[in-house]
Amino acid sequence: IIDLLSKFYSLKEGSIKIDGKDINKYKTDDVRKMIGIVTQESLLFHDTIKNNICFGNEECDINNLRNAAKIANAYDFIERLDKKYNTIIGERGLKLSGGQRQRICIARAIYKDPPILIFDEATSSLDSKSEKSVQTAVDKVMKDRTTIIIAHRLSTIKNVDKIIVI
């Protein structure tokens, strides 16, 4: 379903609409700009925290960067690092814990500020303490936007408006 929404596949029948408009009437790039995705496996680069959060943007607004980090519950741990946002996090973010990596990915999605957010098993591989911190971030981010959460754990979806079981 998420691959259909992201236009990785074309619909054979039926339709998917965003704000009442069939997604086939949108350019693929325009649909993808409307979506922020946080997956089970943190997709991070051997670069700074700043560049990982601002990835895909030509310029990085420091105020938006900090705000995204605060909403994602990443601000405090970033501020404790020696080089803060200029810290190189290693290949796939291996210098960070699993929870920290996920919060950086959530901050990236928040920085993008898309109207649609997708969390695909974003907390499934975390310990309970990290899961709680990431879940708090997810709860903050869901306000005022369409959020699709794919999850097996009931605790992950306890604050949603509608649950669809597939």
137-156 confidence digits (pLDDT tens): 777 777 788 888 888 777 77
Residue 79 has pLDDT above 90, yes or no: yes
Whether residue 125 is predicted with pLDDT greater than 70 in this model: the reply is no
Digit-coded pLDDT (tens) for 92-116: 888 888 888 888 998 998 898 899 9
Which tokens belong to 37?
Answer: 């995705």
pLDDT at 93: 82
H or E stretch covering 80: helix 75-80
- CA 116 from centroid of its chain's CA atoms: 10
